[in-house]
Structure 1
Amino acid sequence: MEGPVADYSDVEQLKLYRLVPIASPTDTNWHLAPNQGEVVVLARSSGDARVVAAEAELDYLEIDALPGDGNSTTSSSAFRNEKLYTVVDEADPAYPIEGPRGVVAGTVRVDNIRPSEL
């Protein structure tokens, strides 16, 4: 007897996820990327939730500055660091479960790009 099979054909089937900082405020990893607090996103998966939150941050490609080799800063976001943030399913009915992929609650700061020299 076969059980129900999940339908993954709709790639825009979105769920709510909460990204929660788990590292101590004194953790040295916060020197690499700022703590953004808790954020709720609509995303395809827990991994996609990290990407959605990181994409909401300011990126070098959006301002008149570039890192070496013209790379994006999205991969260096605190949201993508499993030592800094965890991702949990969000079931609070106060948040919309329909709409576009993106941040639905919390504030994502745009001062995440820090100069290497002061």
Structure 2
Amino acid sequence: MPVLVKLKKTREAKGLSQNELARKTGYSLQNIQKIEQGRAASITFDALGRFCEVLECQPGDILEWRPNNIDDKTGHSSNDEVLKTASEEVEGKSESPKSTKRQPHMIVIDANRGAA
């Protein structure tokens, strides 16, 4: 899932228990546990607003976006190979005649890479 809910981390940083958060937000303890364990399919803006109000934080403190294709071992996106292939083809360095079949439909720009 590309959006991670960091409710547990944010709640713990504020020194609240799951029971306290449940009581202050009006959500059940089971619902809080489900969200924190990543078993909730979605979270409403109302719930996000209540959590932010009680935890005195911003939505970005609770939600984090991560691409689906991050390699956990290297921390690099699997798009790196697509970018390498695409740049080689643009520069004329691709030696494989099959490489034209691998041309990406979209080039993803990685903000963490240095400018070319």
TM-score (norm 2): 0.22
- Bigger Cα Rg: 2
Question: Which is bigger in relative contact order (C-alpha 8 A, separation at least 6)?
Answer: 1
> Which structure is higher in helix share?
2
> Which structure is higher in strand share?
1
